A and B are shown apart, each in its own frame.
Chain A
Amino acid sequence: MTDTPLHLIRNFSIIAHIDHGKSTLADRLIQTTGTVAARDMKEQLLDNMEIERERGITIKAQTVRIDYPAKDGNTYVLNLMDTPGHVDFAYEVSRSLAACEGSLLVVDASQGVEAQTLANVYQAMDANHEIVPVLNKIDLPAAEPDRVKQQIEDVIGLDASDAVMISAKTGLNIEGVLEAIVTRLPPPTGDASKTLTALLVDSWYDAYLGVVVLVRVRDGHLKKGMKVRMMSNGATHTVEQVGVFRPKMVQVEALGPGEMGYITAAIKTVADTNVGDTVTDERNPATVALPGFKPSIPVVWCGLYPVDADDFEKLRESLGKLRLNDSSFHFEAEHSAALGMGYRCGFLGLLHLEIVQERLSREFDLDLIATAPSVVYKIRRTNGTLEELHNPADMPDPSLIEEIEEPWIKATIMVPDEYLGSILTLCSERRGQQVELTYVGSRAMAVYRLPLNEVVFDFYDRLKSVSRGYASFDYSIDGYEAGDLVKIGILVNAEPVDALSFMAHRSQADRRGRSICEKLKELIPRQLFKIPIQAAIGGRVIARETISAMSKDVTAKCYGGDISRKRKLLDKQKEGKKRMRQFGKVEIPQSAFIAALKMDA
């Protein structure tokens, strides 16, 4: 089952917006070809993680090898590459696409093309893919296949006249999809006689096997027992297992040119296996690596703190375990006066942040506080040095700063016409620069350049709310630019609360400062003393609220029979104070901080 002739191999991926039916179609392809016995079928076969299943998103790339006896009498090996479907994992997506020669573009026949579909389809085009449009859910009454076909042609510029019409749910015309893969997508190319080069598509940690590495062989052979070298870091490993996914792991002797599969090589952590790297033969290494390798760089950072300080050690261990399987996320210890010991963690994007946070609470049973996410700023000091800033609390004194640069993104937003006005207002409020505005039927497509910082701060929620959920949004990182940026510090009772400080553009500073002061005023319960809450840039206060002192709190009746009870209550109250954060004579319940940070995230 290895050394399949190149012309009988098809490597393909599926591009689809969330809910447009990618996973269902994958399930059907696997099922129809008998790759998985009927009794072993479950929904979304390829999505391993609980979170992936629940949210219908794929985080790790996966493949499944399908044997398909086609109408032409040949049996083809079809390798379906399931790619992460979110912009946070854009680089991972590009590597998965680089491992394939073609894509199925799955579009919901009633919903049409969404922003996310667009971004991914452009990526597939960049990877020189042949693309076969597939219209899904054509059995639904709301399906408008002709309109959607037209949209595909107008927006993407793809000929959709031969689009395959299916219903993945009911299994309608799955055969048509399989035939289109065989007849319309090109076979891979490669040379079995050359030395080994294989693209490292993805990797994950398995408790029994160590790191499992997903590869696509370009030239040569990948065999059990051979010594391989990772070209990005020179590390060598002895291959223990070679295999393919059906979708369970099945061992094979070797993988030849054009084939996809996995290797294991007693690798301890995924940090040693970089996505996009080239795997070659240690004894006869290739001189040129496959193109496109980039180390992963976090773009969004936030602090993660255990709600219960005693869980710090557990958090450290859990982050370590998570990193075994996700080298794209970074963490370093930090200390906050308000929240205690915790970690500053770097993520590929907001979804990545959310997923890691959720996994920590779900798989490791940790109760966490996350500080407001912050992007990575570049700070040029007056002495000429350049440094990256991951945490606003670490910002140097403004007098030492020559210039602050912030990351920008290019965002594509698709929205029904009636909500376009609010979307444009939102974008300009967030310092957006319009790049393009086009109409596709009744939907508008706005392309904006936006500072990433403005997107990190509740942009997505606002986008959804002003468009009643109809806007779809995607972005790619679009370089750094100097901006008039300031650090806004929050003072509670005249003491700075490091965990609440954040960066903002000077034009937004007053509004943001006021908004967080107002929120805190609502969230911090009234106390014995009045508490001033201030937002300040350096020493200049830009917003101020005061939580007035509680007006009355005294037991009405207290006589000889009440004294023991009152004393015991007092002891309890003193115990409860230990869960409070002290700000001079003011104590703030941790719950208020958590709520403030949650509202901001």
Chain B
Amino acid sequence: MAGMVEPLALYIHWPFCLSKCPYCDFNSHVRERIDQGRFAAALLAELRFEAERVGRRPLASIFFGGGTPSLMAPETAAALIAEAFALFDPLPGCEVTLEANPTSVEAAKLREFRAAGVNRLSLGVQSLDAAALAFLGRRHSAGEAVAALETGREIFPRLSFDLIYARPGQAEAAWRAEVRQALTLAADHLSLYQLTIEPGTKFATEHARGAFALPGDDEAAALYAATVEEAAGFGLAPYEVSNYAQPGAESRHNLAYWRYGDYLGIGPGAHQRLLLGGEMLAFRRHRAPEEWAGLVEAQGHGVTGCETLTPQDRAREALLMGLRLAEGVDPARVAVRAGMPMAAALDGEMVRACEEAGYLEWQGGRLCATAEGRMRLDAMLPRILR
């Protein structure tokens, strides 16, 4: 790996939504009117600024996330894709993903996004159950979701969608039925997330108040096991904690995060990791859309902070991301990305204890969390990291 030029992953953040979902803690904002032109221009400007900083590099993927990027004008997406392809060297089959919600309004624009260069669609379906969709504050119906999935599969070469499980009172049998239905509609990729209560969300307030209770750890574990089993029945393997794909259909863009690769992040609040001149730089951008745009207009970029990460921090990040993957981590790659030997970042005794417990294993020189280990990763990390 050393000596090879690290390809780039480009993340573009569209910070607006029609409404805020009660579980979501992402950087999303609801506005009555959005100045599409201003944000398109600011995103393009920031993209050019970052291209200047990193220089010409192979580009492996683009990901439009949010927010709800399907609310973006398709021509903005087109302009950004064209600009990125001009500034960098897109690799063959460069993956261009767009997140979309399955409302009919957005579904209507899908063909235009395809024409703009998007080749992978990620639909925020969340559930195929009407009551669950209401609980989750979604603006689409189950019927719309199914229709959007069908349209999406026709239009895009690749398609993924999200579901949220371990909802209040959700029985294993009901979830198995729901996920099985989803799998029949799926193409080659699915993201299946356990519902988590994030601080600062509407759910956090309601949950603290006792408005609803989540399944306990044992139930959540059983639901997870059921999920893995059902997905396997349709040939989808959990290549990451919450992501399932047919071999080769993994999200290339997200793999860049988990493999601790270089990624640019433009748009409000977007994060960025770049290894430049032997230093790992972590950038933060202004989270408020208008302020961010103002900064870009004034200085060419919306960066509000840049931290040079220590080798220890880099090793921790590489491991906390890498061990989420079934493929695990390659010590040689971690050493390159962290600037220190992987073994020096780990507590050898605890690693052995985790191996004995069946949570970690070595596979062809790679350190991998087993299925059992991945389910307990958050508890394992503080123990195995020095």
Bound complex: CA A556 to CA B196 (Å): 7
Q: A558 to B193, Cβ gap below 8 A?
A: no
Q: A553 to B379, Cβ gap below 8 A?
A: yes
When distances are taken between beta carbons in the complex, the residues of chain B under 8 Å from A561 are: 11, 26-27, 265, 269-271
CB distance from B381 to the nearest CB of A (A): 6
Is A577 among interface residues, defined by CB-CB distance under 8 A?
A: yes
Bound complex: CA A570 to CA B317 (Å): 10
Bound complex: CA A527 to CA B382 (Å): 12
When distances are taken between beta carbons in the complex, the residues of chain A under 8 Å from B51 are: none
CB distance from A34 to the nearest CB of B (A): 61
Interface string of A200-218 (1 = CB under 8 A from B): 0000000000000000000
Q: A528 to B379, Cβ gap below 8 A?
A: yes
Bound complex: CA A553 to CA B380 (Å): 9
Bound complex: CA A248 to CA B254 (Å): 81
When distances are taken between beta carbons in the complex, the residues of chain B under 8 Å from A553 are: 217, 375-379
Q: Which residue of B lies closest to A559 (CB)?
A: B257
Given the known A-B contacts A529-B357, A551-B217, A554-B375, are A563 and B273 also in contact in the complex, defined by CB atoms under 8 Å? yes
Is A557 among interface residues, defined by CB-CB distance under 8 A?
A: yes
Interface of A is mostly: loop
Is A566 among interface residues, defined by CB-CB distance under 8 A?
A: yes
When distances are taken between beta carbons in the complex, the residues of chain A under 8 Å from B194 are: 552, 556
When distances are taken between beta carbons in the complex, the residues of chain B under 8 Å from A560 are: 9, 11, 256-257, 263, 265, 271-273
Would you list which residues of chain A between 354 and 407 have a CB under 8 Å from chain B? Answer: none
Q: B270 to A570, Cβ gap below 8 A?
A: no
Q: A564 to B324, Cβ gap below 8 A?
A: no
Query: Among B196, B269, B350, B383, which residue has its beta carbon within 8 angstroms of that of A555?
Result: B196
Q: Which residue of A lies closest to B164 (CB)?
A: A556
Bound complex: CA A560 to CA B269 (Å): 11
Chain B interface residue bracket vs A: 35 or more
Size of the chain A interface, CB-CB below 8 angstroms: 26
Given the known A-B contacts A551-B217, A563-B257, are A528 and B380 also in contact in the complex, defined by CB atoms under 8 Å? yes
When distances are taken between beta carbons in the complex, the residues of chain A under 8 Å from B349 are: 585
CB distance from B82 to the nearest CB of A (A): 23
Given the known A-B contacts A560-B273, A564-B271, A570-B316, are A554 and B321 also in contact in the complex, defined by CB atoms under 8 Å? no
Bound complex: CA A321 to CA B115 (Å): 84
Bound complex: CA A585 to CA B348 (Å): 12
Q: Which residue of B lies closest to A527 (CB)?
A: B379
Q: B254 to A559, Cβ gap below 8 A?
A: yes
Is B75 among interface residues, defined by CB-CB distance under 8 A?
A: no
Most A-side CB within 10 Å, residue of B269, B272, B313, B350 = B313
Is B149 among interface residues, defined by CB-CB distance under 8 A?
A: no
Bound complex: CA A526 to CA B379 (Å): 10
Q: Which residue of A lies closest to B284 (CB)?
A: A564
Q: A529 to B353, Cβ gap below 8 A?
A: yes
CB distance from A588 to the nearest CB of B (A): 14
Query: Among A551, A557, A573, A577, which residue has its beta carbon within 8 angstroms of that of B218?
Result: A551
Is B80 among interface residues, defined by CB-CB distance under 8 A?
A: no
Given the known A-B contacts A549-B357, A563-B257, A570-B381, are A554 and B271 also in contact in the complex, defined by CB atoms under 8 Å? no
Q: A554 to B377, Cβ gap below 8 A?
A: yes
Q: Which residue of B lies closest to A584 (CB)?
A: B353
Bound complex: CA A570 to CA B382 (Å): 6
Given the known A-B contacts A549-B376, A570-B382, are A556 and B241 also in contact in the complex, defined by CB atoms under 8 Å? yes
Is B224 among interface residues, defined by CB-CB distance under 8 A?
A: yes
Most B-side CB within 10 Å, residue of A549, A554, A577 = A554
Is A574 among interface residues, defined by CB-CB distance under 8 A?
A: yes
Is A567 among interface residues, defined by CB-CB distance under 8 A?
A: yes
When distances are taken between beta carbons in the complex, the residues of chain A under 8 Å from B377 are: 553-555
Interface string of B164-197 (1 = CB under 8 A from A): 0000000000000000000000000000011110
Q: Which residue of B lies closest to A566 (CB)?
A: B320
**27 A-B interface contacts by CB (under 8 A):** A526-B217, A528-B357, A551-B221, A552-B194, A552-B218, A553-B375, A553-B376, A554-B375, A554-B378, A555-B377, A555-B378, A556-B193, A558-B321, A559-B254, A560-B263, A560-B273, A561-B26, A561-B27, A561-B265, A563-B257, A563-B271, A564-B282, A570-B320, A570-B382, A573-B381, A585-B349, A585-B383
What are the 4 A-B residue pairs with the smallest beta carbon separation, nearest first?
A: A551-B221, A573-B382, A552-B221, A560-B257
